[in-house]
Amino acid sequence: MPSQRHPSILKYCAIALLTVTFMLQGCSPNDFINSDDTSAVQGNATVEQANALFNQGKKREAAQAYFAAATRYPTPQRERVILQAAEIAASIGDAKLTNTYLAKVPASALDGENRARQAYVKALLALQQNNPRLALRSLPTNLDELSPALREKVKHIQQRAQAMASGKGGGAPGVQNVQAALVPNSVTRVAALLPQSGSLGSVGQEIYRGIDAARNSVARETSVQVYDVNAGGAVAQYQRAVADGADIVIGPLDKESLADLLAQPQVLSKPLLSLNYLTNSRNIPGALYQFGLLPEDEAKQVAETTSTRGLRTAIVLAPASSWGDRIAGAFRAAYQAKGGQVINIQQFPDAPSNAYLQNVQNALAATQGRASMVFLAASPSQARLMRSLLAAQAPELPIYATSHIFSGRTNPGKDADLDGILYTEIPWVMEGLQSGTLNNSQFPRMFALGMDAFLIAKNLPSIARNPSTQVNGKTGNIRLAGNRQIQRTLLFATFVNGVPQAVGE
């Protein structure tokens, strides 16, 4: 793998362990340096020292290093880095150090976002000191203008504080029942339980290449061993990995293998980071963390983003399949929860056909001009045809979709039919497009899944014990949610001349 390493992997992994720390709306001090000025990053010994200290578990020293690094930046970046130092200090309950740092950022020097971040740090410290009511009073009240990442962090603290104040425990949703004894203090041996043969063999190999790329770039001292889930079964291979000394096991990928493992929960003596999600969320073993490229997450993000933008009436176009039902249902539930109204849902055949025109006409007739947007769940070929039909029938309607409309390999000739669609996309794909390396990978999203799986596994001690932890990964901004599920927030992109281009939210 090293000979085929993508150019941006080193840059990604050099700061990845920093961005796993308590994020400043998903930014690290390195983000204040021009992304092309790698010499500036490499020359910043203080930030590198902070990275190393945090990854060694020396959080107090890491906070001090970040504070020292703040002098390198002008306002408001300086205050932003100081607040990162304060947040880490608050996370370990060091009130004196936290307040020392907070005193260096007077309110008069803060813009709206940093002022809200300062309030968040105060609330985090209050919660660490078992004072949920003070935490609730300290939190910023107007969340509408905050960045999505900071808004989510505030909501996390709010939920924890409310639970603690009501006597229901102080853990964040989904981590209250973590079996803490299963979480290692550090991770030095990682096992990957992946298919290396059979129908999913090529996918499993691509995931492993991503895991290995991340390891080679950021944690060479950590060993990774792959176990073929198709050679002996998931349970036997998990037990073999544990016997070989694994601190954590990544995988399996398919639901059948995952079900086999969960049928014998007594064997799960080490954390398991599955690359798929359970259908039934009840009775989940404390050792299980669930991570994957869940389509429902993308549908929910589209629903929340569009409703926030004032697009409150939607048409949904989705395949007549179980996948289509799932993604349409996820969009509808999230959209309605935000006050939106799904006026009409049309399900079209899996194979493109003349029926698509009838689906579009039926949807437009049913809405009678009341729709403000279209949510499209579709494959690339389906999306191309639907986009052309909608452009002819209702050119004024914005179309939103998920990453499934783009194959992950550039094809401007065909994908020009997708021009104008706004859709969710992972950072790794967008970076590959910019660097020209995207087509080097057969399954770029699976490669990115492997990269992030390793980062999550490597940092599980922090992620499991600190609910505010977020990871700026290659599959999206990652956080731990309910039932120990890893959730992702993606970028938005649109097609221009058949090629995806990043757009702001």
Residues 384-401 have pLDDT tens digits of 999 999 999 999 999 999
Looking at residue 43, what is its pLDDT?
Answer: 33
Supply 53's token pair.
Answer: 């200290």
Q: CB within 8 A of 297, min separation 6: which ones?
A: 487, 488, 490
Phi, psi at residue 318, to the nearest 5°?
-145, 155
Report the pLDDT value the prediction gives residue 143, as an integer from 0 to 100. Answer: 83
Angstrom distances, CA of residue 496 to CA of 155, 330, 417: 36, 28, 10
CA–CA dist 340, 372 (Å, integer): 10
Q: Which residue has the higher pLDDT, 484 or 173?
A: 484
pLDDT of 153 reads 85
The per-residue DSSP string of 344-364 comes to EEEEE-SS--THHHHHHHHHH
Q: What is the pLDDT at residue 59?
A: 77
Which residue is it, tokens 């492993």? 208
Residue 166 CB burial class (10 angstroms; 0-12, 13-18, ≥19): exposed
Which region among 5-19, 181-195, 340-354, 361-375 has the lowest average model confidence (pLDDT)? 5-19
Name the residue with tokens 């065909």.
Answer: 414
State the Cα angle at 221 between 216 and 223, rounded to 5°. Answer: 80
Q: In what order do the strands lie in the sheet with 341-348?
A: 341-348, 313-319, 373-376, 399-401, 422-425, 491-496, 499-503
Identify the pLDDT of residue 483: 79
Q: How far apart are CA 299 and CA 290, in angstroms?
A: 18
pLDDT reading at 426 higher than 60: yes
Q: Does the pLDDT of residue 122 top 80, yes or no? A: yes
Could you count the other beta carbons within 10 Å of the beta carbon of residue 72? 16
Decide: residue 407, CB within 10 A, 0-12 exposed, 13-18 middle, 19+ buried. middle
pLDDT of residue 55: 60
DSSP string, 98-109: HHHHHTTS-GGG
- Comparing CA positions, the residue from 382, 442, 444, 393 lying closest to residue 418 is 382
Q: Find how far residue 166's CA is from the centre of its chain.
A: 30
Residue 174: partners with Cβ closer than 8 Å, 6 or more residues away? 480, 481, 482, 483, 484, 485
- pLDDT band at 33; cut points 50, 70, 90: very low
**Mean of the per-residue pLDDT values of the chain:** 84
pLDDT at 282: 66
Tokens of 314: 């939607």
DSSP state of 3: G
* Burial class for 178, CB neighbours closer than 10 Å (0-12, 13-18, 19+): buried
* Distance between CA atoms of residues 422 and 420, nearest Å: 6
Helix (H, G, I), strand (E, B) or coil at 120: helix
Can you tell me whether residue 256 is helix, strand or coil? helix
- Residue 54: what pLDDT? 66
Determine if the peptide bond prior to 252 is cis (ω within 30°).
Answer: yes
So what's the pLDDT on residue 22?
A: 37
How high is the pLDDT of residue 191?
A: 97
Burial class (CB in 10 A: 0-12, 13-18, 19+), 153: buried
Considering 174-188, 212-226, 458-472, the range whose residues carry the highest mean pLDDT is: 212-226
> Are 130 and 169 within 8 A, CB to CB?
no
- Distance CA(398)–CA(221), nearest Å, equals 49
pLDDT band at residue 169, thresholds of 50, 70 and 90? very low
Percent of the chain, pLDDT > 90?
53
- Better-predicted residue by pLDDT, 152 or 313: 313
Lowest mean pLDDT segment, chosen from 169-183, 350-364, 418-432: 169-183
Position 357 scores a pLDDT of 93
- Helix (H, G, I), strand (E, B), or coil: what is residue 76? coil
The answer to which of 11-15, 271-275, 406-410 has the lowest mean pLDDT is 11-15
Going by C-alpha positions, the residue among 91, 136, 61 that lies closest to residue 466 is 91
- State the Cα–Cα distance between residues 81 and 44, nearest whole angstrom: 14
Q: Concatenate the DSSP letters of all residues of 269-288 into one string.
A: -S-EEESS--S--SS--TTE
What's the mean pLDDT in 426-445?
A: 93
- pTM greater than 0.85 (yes/no): no
Query: What order of strands is seen across the sheet that includes strand 288-290?
Result: 223-228, 189-194, 248-250, 272-274, 288-290
| pLDDT for residue 29 | 31
Kind and range of the H or E run holding 491:
strand 491-496
Specify the higher pLDDT residue, 270 or 152.
Answer: 270
Per-residue pLDDT at 471: 85
In the predicted structure, residue 360 carries a pLDDT above the cut 80? yes
How far is the C-alpha of 387 from the C-alpha of 488, rounded, in Å? 26
Domains, the chain: 2-165 (no CATH), 180-293+444-487 (3.40.50.2300), 296-425 (3.40.50.2300)
173: pLDDT strictly greater than 50: no
For residue 281, what pLDDT band results from cuts at 50, 70 and 90? low
Whether pLDDT at 432 is above 80: yes
Cα of 92 vs its chain's centroid, Å = 24
pLDDT confidence of residue 113: 86
User: Do you find a cis peptide bond into 76, omega within 30 degrees of 0?
Assistant: yes
The pLDDT of residue 498: 97
Give pLDDT, residue 92: 78
| pLDDT score of 172 more than 70 | no
**188 Cβ neighbours under 8 A, 6+ residues apart:** 221, 222, 223, 247
389 vs 183, which has greater pLDDT?
A: 389
State the number of CA atoms in the 13 A half-sphere of 251 facing the CB.
Answer: 35
Q: What is the pLDDT of residue 1?
A: 42
- The pLDDT value given to residue 121: 92
pLDDT at 28 over 70: no
pLDDT of residue 17: 38
- Give the pLDDT mean for 470-475: 91
- Strands 272-274 and 491-496 turn out to be unpaired
Phi and psi, residue 307, nearest 5°:
-65, -35
Phi, psi at 365, each rounded to 5°: -65, -40
Q: Which two tokens stand for residue 278?
A: 């359970």
